[in-house]
Amino acid sequence: MNADRKLADFDFVLTTPVGHLGVCVDGETVTAIDFLGTRRRVRPPQTPFARHVAHQLSAYFDSAGTGFDLPVALDGTAFQQRVWRALQSIPSGHTLTYGQLAQRLHTSPRAVGNACRANPVPLIVPCHRVVARSGLGGFAGRTDGPEVARKRWLLDHENPQ
């Protein structure tokens, strides 16, 4: 999540139940998704691929069981890439703790959390499905506030009781 991006940097800004999402694409690849709250104006997608991405994101918010079939550019270290691949294997409606994921990857929970924080395409790479051993844990580098409220909403959406 990059707070420095300006409206012009996004290919479109979509209204969702967790606030506006700013989405960047490069050709036919998703390169970034930022949670924007409601501080940015909605901007409709202009290209066929951007409309396809917007449709898949909207479908997810309509039904959490809907998966993503979108090419993404995951620009990060080899370790971050490994964590992000592992995140993509966590099914909707399920969670792992930072410790469980760290054990699978032979690393530390803190390293997993740092890789989750650096995730350029949340939702598509579902870092919100990683939780603390004794609770929700953080989201987007925060342990309170609107970021954690978004994580709670996403998890509740994916696992209605």
The predicted pLDDT at position 84 comes to 97
* Residue 107 neighbours by CB distance under 10 Å: 15
CATH code for the structural domain at 78-158: 1.10.10.10
CA 18 to CA 59: how far, in whole Å? 14
Q: What is the pLDDT along the chain (161 residues), one digit of tens a residue?
A: 455 556 568 999 999 999 999 999 999 999 999 999 877 789 999 999 999 999 999 999 999 778 899 999 999 999 999 999 999 999 999 999 999 999 999 999 999 999 999 999 999 999 999 999 998 998 888 888 889 999 999 999 998 76
**Cross-strand partners of 20:** 15, 37
DSSP track, 17-48: TTEEEEEEEETTEEEEEEEEETSS--B---SH
The predicted pLDDT at position 4 comes to 58
What torsion do the CA atoms of 104, 82, 28, 31 make, to the nearest 10 degrees?
110
83 touches 112 (CB < 8 A): yes
The predicted pLDDT at position 85 comes to 97
**Helix (H), strand (E) at residue 80:** helix 78-87
For the chain, strand residue ranges (E) read 12-16, 19-26, 29-37, 96-97, 130-131
The domain locations on the chain are: 7-62, 78-158
The predicted pLDDT at position 161 comes to 65
Give me the catalytic one of 53, 54, 127, 131.
Answer: 127
Q: Would you call 24 a catalytic residue per the annotation?
A: no
**Which pTM was predicted?**
0.91
